[in-house]
Amino acid sequence: MADLDGVAPSTAANRRFRWWPGIILTPVAVVITLGMIEKRGVVIGIIAALTYGTLAIVGWIPPHRLMRWSRQHPVLDELFFAPLLFGGLAYLTPLSLVMCLVITAMGTALLLGLTGWIRRTRSQRATN
């Protein structure tokens, strides 16, 4: 028998704590956004609001659905690293925003290349 999510019923304890990430991430997103506005200005604050607001929204998605989407869209899943890296660099370092963008582009390209190589290697092993 399946529940509303189309999966086997979970225990009551697992269902009870499913909403915790959304509750925790929402105020964290607000605090990070306000800190970014204060430290780096409104434009970077808007980027932070979009990035961390999205994370807060994703916190409400059931984990099994999120994992299924992540497996179906691996590159899009990995691209979320870019705004997180940019936000972290902009907030935690005194680097110029241009340098933060350059480091973010290089780090994201490295991540995409490395994870693409790992996926390709795993799929070649699976076919052999």
Residue 80's SS3 state is coil
CB 101 within 8 A of CB 86: yes
- Global pTM reads 0.71
Q: Each residue of 22-75: pLDDT tens digit?
A: 788 888 889 989 999 999 999 889 988 998 888 888 888 888 888 898 889 988
Q: Each residue of 66-121: pLDDT tens digit?
A: 889 888 998 888 888 898 899 899 989 999 999 999 999 999 999 999 998 998 88
CA 3 – CA 34 distance, rounded (Å): 40
121, 54, 46: which is closest to 81 by C-alpha? 54
At 7 the pLDDT is: 53
